[in-house]
């Protein structure tokens, strides 16, 4: 087995602290204006960031489902991924997380924080259903757009054109910056069309660079794509 062999795009999420490292964020960046997390899954980043006073929203294709179904799906997906985890153990570098139980505890913590906040803010528009490559937000709506563990990671089932359309859409709703992590697939290999993507963005006059981040779990998965719109 040479990759984390999951047969679906899982409804999973990470905590605020993990996002801060994954996207190399700091509080100053989050105070600059509205932030969007897309596709946010069951991440508690939005909930925790809002508690700290930051203006953060989240969207995901699954948010159209009622909270009971989301609760069920989230629980199932945590179990599903952890069943497969040992098969791909050689892909991971331990240090950021101490062991499998540590990772699982954080996924459960994120999920708990997310679901409580979702129920509390059901009608607020903070959590919106959205299916990339189309987002329900106006141009330049967010200062910063974050996208973790969706693009590039599932490059074995989402093709290059889909990735390009998604990137254009994330850039459209951003007034300043887009950050994407990771740049590798479930097999821990670098996304094969990254060169084409960088060329595509450069052809549109958009500045994009691969930036090292203070997070590594999947071996070699310590880079994000940072796109500057202006």
Ligand X SMILES: C[S@@+](CC[C@H](N)C(=O)[O-])C[C@H]1O[C@@H](n2cnc3c(N)ncnc32)[C@H](O)[C@@H]1O
Point out which residues bind ligand X (CB under 6 A). Answer: 9-14, 39-41, 43, 60-62, 130-132, 148-150
Determine the Cα–Cα distance for residues 44 and 108; give it in Å rounded to an integer. 10
57: closest CA among 131, 133, 150, 146? 146
Output 137 or 150, the one with its CB closest to ligand X. 150
Q: CB of 151: closest distance to ligand X in angstroms? A: 9
Output 11 or 54, the one with its CB closest to ligand X. 11
Within 85-159, where are the H helices? Answer: 100-120
Of the CA atoms within 13 Å of residue 56, those in its CB half-sphere come to 28
Q: CB of 64: closest distance to ligand X in angstroms? A: 10
Q: CB of 150: closest distance to ligand X in angstroms? A: 4
Output 9 or 175, the one with its CB closest to ligand X. 9
160: closest CA among 194, 137, 129, 126? 194
Q: CB of 205: closest distance to ligand X in angstroms? A: 26
As beta bridge partners, residue 128 has 59
């Amino acid at each position: 087995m040479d990759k984390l062999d999951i047969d679906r795009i899982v409804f999973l999420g990470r905590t605020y602290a993990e996002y801060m490292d994954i996207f190399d964020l700091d509080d100053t960046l989050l105070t600059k204006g509205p932030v969007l997390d897309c596709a946010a899954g069951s991440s508690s980043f939005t909930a925790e960031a809002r508690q700290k006073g930051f203006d953060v929203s989240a969207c995901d294709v699954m948010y159209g489902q009622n909270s009971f179904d989301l609760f069920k799906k989230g629980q199932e997906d945590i179990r599903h991924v952890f069943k497969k985890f040992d098969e791909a153990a050689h892909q991971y570098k331990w240090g950021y997380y101490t062991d499998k139980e540590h990772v699982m505890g954080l996924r459960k913590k994120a999920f708990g924080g997310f679901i409580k906040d979702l129920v509390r803010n059901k009608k607020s528009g903070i959590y919106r259903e959205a299916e990339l490559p189309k987002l329900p937000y106006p141009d330049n709506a967010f200062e910063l757009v974050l996208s973790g563990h969706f693009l590039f990671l599932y490059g074995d089932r989402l093709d290059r054109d889909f990735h390009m359309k998604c990137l254009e859409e994330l850039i459209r709703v951003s007034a300043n910056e887009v950050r994407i992590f990771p740049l590798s697939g479930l097999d821990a290999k670098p996304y094969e069309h990254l060169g084409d993507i960088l060329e595509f963005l450069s052809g549109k006059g958009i500045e994009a660079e691969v930036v090292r981040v203070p997070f590594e779990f999947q071996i070699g998965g310590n880079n994000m794509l940072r796109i500057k719109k202006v």
